[in-house]
């Protein structure tokens, strides 16, 4: 019995990526017996892959309907309502599904009997690293945030000595030392900027410093009127609550701020208030990678590039789509790894007791599997009632 994978063209505005690239499709076809990969005409266009490239890799280039009539449908962006309606019982959907942001999509997929595997829910265990699409895309986001800032800053990143004189290097402050933040630090550092990193999680200091950046320590001034552990606790609480205020002097000195702080399932923390923006030098640049979650900066407009207090503030929502060749290549590798992980004698039969599939499975057997999403849906139900 042949296994079929469908790769539809992405329809989300601005989405340039494709879920499988010819090279990765080629490798899958070589590994899996009796596999058909159906790619929609033009699906690779945004990522500079032609239909001929897919054909040469052994894929079938087909119309849209045929891609949705496959055993596994591989996508990048969460399905539109129309795409959900095309799916049904026994089909598997693999892709970013924005489970916490679009719980109603999860419900619709469950209602239609679809087995939906969300790339966002892949557990961060070493065995699942090659399925970690989120980290790969965060790397791209961090890199592009630094490049975009360099493109917009009216000054050099590196210290530069010319015949006419020497210019000082740019000061780049990165807020949040996750995958995106660390890649932004590394890229700004490569370009020769003076880089500073901040994270509320003190243990990230080592990673920040290992990239050659200085770790920003917030200074709180509390009376030591209690025992040591109570004091440390109070300092931490104080730092957390007063972050925007305590960060302000550091922000004022930065030419570029790249903010990446997220709290899973919650709005992004406010780290940059309007006062801090106003204190920055004219022409400075803020790239707010937390924009899709409300932003770390009070003035960020999601999806927009604005100027406020003479500071350029970018609120990008999909930086990986700006680098579609490598974004698609890396994403396709994670999708292929997910599919291979679930293969059993050349059929797709994942073991849902396995941590990887237990966690990444969003819907199955007509129900939403993820507890947090079920919680969100429950709340929504109650609100309606």
Q: Which of 26, 36, 132, 199 is catalytic?
A: 132
Of 1, 89, 90, 165, the one binding its own copies (CB under 8 A) is 165
How does DSSP classify residue 365? T
Does the active-site annotation cover 364? no
Least distance from C-beta 363 to its own copies, angstroms? 24
Least distance from C-beta 295 to its own copies, angstroms? 22
Q: Is the dihedral of CA 173, 179, 183, 184 positive or negative?
A: negative
Does the active-site annotation cover 243? no
Least distance from C-beta 188 to its own copies, angstroms? 11
Regarding 135 and contact with its own copies (CB under 8 A), the answer is: yes
Q: Is the dihedral of CA 383, 365, 40, 82 positive or negative?
A: negative
CB nearer its own copies, residue 18 or residue 361:
18
Do 278 and 284 meet the contact criterion of CB atoms below 8 Å apart?
no
Regarding 345 and contact with its own copies (CB under 8 A), the answer is: no
Of 282, 303, 366, 378, the one binding its own copies (CB under 8 A) is 282
Q: Which of residues 113-132 bind its own copies (CB under 8 A)?
A: 129-132
Computed on alpha carbons and rounded to an integer, the radius of gyration of the chain in Å comes to 23
- HEC states along 293-314? HCCCECCCCCCCEEEECCEEEE
Cα distance between residue 109 and residue 72, in whole Å: 14
CB nearer its own copies, residue 296 or residue 334:
334
Of 35, 133, 195, 291, the one binding its own copies (CB under 8 A) is 133
Cα distance between residue 118 and residue 360, in whole Å: 5
Regarding 171 and contact with its own copies (CB under 8 A), the answer is: no
CB nearer its own copies, residue 105 or residue 139:
139
Does the active-site annotation cover 48? no
Tokens of 182: 């660390």
Cα distance between residue 43 and residue 35, in whole Å: 19
In terms of phi and psi (left: phi > 0; alpha: psi -120 to 50; beta: otherwise), the region of 302 is: beta
Cα distance between residue 376 and residue 385, in whole Å: 14
| Residues engaged in binding its own copies (CB under 8 A) | 16, 47-48, 50, 129-133, 135-136, 139-140, 143, 147-148, 150-151, 153-156, 158, 160, 162-165, 167, 187, 190-192, 281-283, 310, 322-326, 329-331, 333-334, 337
């Amino acid at each position: 019995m042949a296994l079929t994978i469908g790769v539809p063209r992405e329809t989300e505005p601005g989405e340039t990526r494709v879920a499988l690239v010819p090279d990765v499709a080629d490798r899958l076809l070589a590994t899996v017996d009796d596999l058909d990969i159906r790619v929609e005409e033009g699906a690779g266009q945004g990522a500079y892959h032609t239909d001929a490239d897919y054909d040469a890799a052994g894929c079938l280039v087909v119309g849209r309907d045929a891609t949705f009539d496959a055993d596994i449908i591989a996508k990048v962006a969460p399905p539109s309502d129309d795409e959900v309606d095309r799916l049904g019982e026994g089909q598997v959907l693999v892709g970013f599904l924005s489970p916490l942001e679009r719980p109603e999509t999860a419900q619709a997929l469950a209602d239609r009997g679809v087995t939906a595997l969300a790339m966002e829910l892949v557990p961060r265990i070493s065995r699942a690293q090659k399925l970690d699409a989120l980290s790969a895309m965060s790397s791209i986001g961090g890199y592009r945030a630094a490049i975009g800032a360099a493109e917009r800053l009216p000054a050099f990143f590196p210290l530069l000595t010319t015949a006419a004189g020497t210019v000082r290097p740019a000061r780049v402050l990165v807020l949040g030392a996750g995958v995106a933040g660390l890649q932004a630090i590394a890229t700004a550092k490569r370009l020769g900027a003076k880089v500073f990193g901040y994270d509320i999680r003190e243990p990230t200091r080592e990673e920040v410093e290992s990239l050659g950046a200085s770790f920003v320590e917030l200074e709180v001034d509390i009376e030591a009127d209690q025992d040591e552990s109570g004091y440390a606790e109070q300092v931490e609480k104080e730092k957390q609550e007063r972050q925007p205020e305590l960060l302000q002097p550091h922000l004022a000195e930065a030419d570029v701020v790249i903010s990446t702080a997220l709290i899973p399932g919650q709005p992004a923390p406010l780290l940059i208030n309007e006062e801090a923006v106003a204190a920055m030098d004219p022409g400075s640049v803020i790239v707010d990678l937390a924009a899709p979650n409300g932003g770390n900066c009070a003035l960020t407009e999601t999806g927009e590039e604005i100027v406020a207090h003479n500071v350029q503030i970018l609120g990008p929502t999909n930086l990986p789509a700006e680098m579609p060749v490598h974004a698609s290549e890396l994403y396709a590798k994670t999708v292929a790894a997910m599919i291979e992980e679930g293969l059993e004698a050349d059929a797709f039969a994942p073991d849902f007791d396995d941590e990887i599939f237990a966690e990444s499975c969003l819907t199955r057997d007509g129900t939403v599997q993820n507890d947090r999403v079920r919680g969100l849906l429950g709340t929504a139900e109650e609100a309606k009632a």
